[in-house]
Amino acid sequence: MTDGAARPTVLAVDDEPDLAELYRVYLDSAYDVRIATDGEAALAEMDDDVDVVLLDRRMPDMSGHEVLSAMREAGYDARIAMLTAVEPDVDIVDMPFDDYKTKPVSKEDLLTLVEVLLHRAEFDRHSQEFFALASKKAALEASGTTGTEEYEELLEKIERVRDRVDDTLDHLSARDAFVEVPGNVP
């Protein structure tokens, strides 16, 4: 995944080349965008630098579900949104994606979707860091090693990370409360 200094990378996968290119045009001003027009090309474009994948579900040769499974099996932790003309059914329950949107989507919808997915990833990173620090705190407390400078520094670090988790969660909550990303635009 990219760090804070680089532009996030989005991989747009759609078997309709014009639509994949349109996604690039929509996103290019804010993100590094890669496009692929089939499953094999998507897997070839995928690497640890990709932050968000916009994945068509119905493609010839290799379906979006197969691409999704291959990406997860390879250990990629990018946020993946199924962006497809296929209406959702109960089969999506066990699919390891982060969001599902039904085409067509506008430029604003697409930008909002990518932004929300990136904020979710940020929340995950901060919360994992918080729980790792909390585990260290618990271990030190269990051993009775609490009256040290290192312990006090750990408490301060926990508060800083907790604040980042709270800020990110507040941003996501506000975003989700006031901006709906419509799935099917009439």
User: What's the pLDDT tens digit per position in 104-135?
Assistant: 999 999 999 999 899 887 777 777 788 778 88
At 102 the pLDDT is 87
What's the mean per-residue pLDDT of the chain? 84
Q: Do 139 and 72 lie in a common domain? A: no
CATH number at residue 85: 3.40.50.2300
Q: Do 73 and 129 lie in a common domain? A: no
Token output for 65:
């579900």
Q: Do 69 and 30 lie in a common domain? A: yes
Q: Looking at 105, 136, 166, which one is the last position of a domain? A: 105
Q: Do 81 and 136 lie in a common domain? A: no
Q: Do 98 and 139 lie in a common domain? A: no
Domains in the chain: how many in total?
Answer: 2
Q: Do 100 and 134 lie in a common domain? A: no
Q: Looking at 55, 82, 105, which one is the last position of a domain? A: 105
Residue 182 pLDDT grade (very low, low, confident, very high; cuts 50, 70, 90): very low
Task: Give the β-pairing of 9-13 and 32-36.
Answer: parallel
Q: Which of 93-97, 137-141, 168-172 has the lowest mean pLDDT?
A: 168-172
Q: Looking at 50, 81, 105, which one is the last position of a domain? A: 105
Does residue 55 carry a pLDDT above 80?
yes
Q: Do 73 and 135 lie in a common domain? A: no
* Domain-located, residue 92: yes
Q: What is the number of other CB atoms lying within 10 angstroms of the CB of residue 22?
A: 17
Q: Do 55 and 98 lie in a common domain? A: yes
Q: What's the mean pLDDT in 173-185?
A: 45
At 184 the pLDDT is 38
At 92 the pLDDT is 67
Question: What's the predicted TM-score (pTM) here?
Answer: 0.71
Residues ≥6 apart with Cβ < 8 Å to 47: 76
Structural domain containing residue 69: 9-105
Q: Do 120 and 34 lie in a common domain? A: no
